[in-house]
Amino acid sequence: MDIAPDLVTVVVPAYNAQSTLDETLWSVRAQTHANLEILVVDDGSIDATASIAERHAADDKRIKVIRQPNQGVAAARNKGLDLARAEYVAPVDADDLWHATKIQKQLALMKERGARVGLVYCWSAHIDERSRIIGRRHTPTFEGNVFGHLCRLNLVGNGSAALMRAEAMRRAGGYDPELRRKSAQGSEDIKLYLQIALGYEFAVVPEYLTGYRRVSGNMSADWQQMYRSFELVAASFEAEDPLTREGLNAGRNNLLRTLFIRAVKEFQFATALGIYRALLKRDRYYAINLLARVPAAIARNFLESVTGKRFNLKADDTLM
């Protein structure tokens, strides 16, 4: 089958996403780069997720709905990767949003930089349950060989902000479903990004083109699973190359810092205390210095959230 030039496969893993999937799919369908193959992978949902996806598919022939028993987000994304016909793949979680120009700008940069670039990322604004912006602090600009930087900080930020070469994803082995089987979901994205960074360069579109939804909830178990997930990923890279240990230790600190500040912002103080104790045990000096930055972080979050501005999906506003 002939594939049109510049086709991009969008992979949407969806599990019980009836409250957000409709808005997510509209943001994908509204892309100014219209040459898309949109694969919605319903991962065993028991709500209206499948019917919402099917309704969009009936209106837009670019959309195909794939259903499978619940296997987790890594397996759902890998199913989309297996079926992808395009040279480029852009995952988006079923609760996140894209600005209308996201794919257009990322693809243009990917083509401009050439085959040495395996991933183009963009900045992400944090959004709440009503798609209002509650944070815009994610502004990394690292490009080229970013593996060392990526050990310290997830530059891409989340699972919805990247445009990747399908070849690079497949060479890296796709997303790791074993983390779920080990009750350690959460670091599937960063593991794939690290693996891609070993063989390819990264590039960035320095604009807020992704809305990353952050819903308040009980973090008491979530933070431990996320930290355990990163520990497993970090250990696997350290076993391959002990020289990565320093950077990945910084990555551990940065993850705990992010989780701690989030817990404080959401007034989950018992959870924040547990996270802080873990950080103290890891790096006492880093933990003590962190306390000085907490008031400023909370103040920034408050000022951004009180504006009530929704994440704009239109092509004439990049949220800068």
Specify whether 232 is located in the same domain as 209.
no
* CATH, residue 79: 3.90.550.10
- Is the per-residue pLDDT at 116 higher than 60? yes
Domain that holds residue 136: 8-213
DSSP string, 99-116: -TTHHHHHHHHHHHH-TT
CB proximity list for 198: less than 8 A, separation 6 or greater: 147, 172
Residues in a beta bridge with 63? 38
| The predicted structure's pLDDT at residue 99 | 96
How many separate domains does the chain show? 2
Specify whether 178 is located in the same domain as 250.
no
Residue 244 belongs to some domain of the structure: yes
Specify whether 201 is located in the same domain as 243.
no
- Is the per-residue pLDDT at 163 higher than 70? yes
Residue 249 belongs to some domain of the structure: yes
| The predicted structure's pLDDT at residue 170 | 98
- Interatomic CA distance for residues 87 and 142, integer angstroms: 24
Residue 156 belongs to some domain of the structure: yes
Specify whether 173 is located in the same domain as 59.
yes
Predicted confidence (pLDDT) per residue in 53-75, tens digit: 999 999 999 999 999 999 999 99
Let me know if 254 is exposed, middle or buried by CB neighbors in 10 A (0-12, 13-18, 19+): middle
- Interatomic CA distance for residues 224 and 92, integer angstroms: 24
- Is the per-residue pLDDT at 83 higher than 90? yes
Boundary (domain end) residue, out of 213, 237, 254: 213
Q: Are 161 and 212 in contact (CB under 8 A)?
A: yes
Predicted confidence (pLDDT) per residue in 202-260, tens digit: 999 999 999 999 877 666 678 999 999 999 999 999 999 999 999 999 999 999 999 99
CB proximity list for 108: less than 8 A, separation 6 or greater: none
Specify whether 209 is located in the same domain as 228.
no
| The predicted structure's pLDDT at residue 90 | 98
Specify whether 21 is located in the same domain as 121.
yes
CB proximity list for 143: less than 8 A, separation 6 or greater: 201, 202, 203, 204
Portion of the chain with pLDDT greater than 90, in percent: 79
Boundary (domain end) residue, out of 165, 181, 213: 213
Boundary (domain end) residue, out of 196, 213, 230: 213
Give 282's pLDDT tier (boundaries 50, 70, 90): very high
Residue 310 belongs to some domain of the structure: no
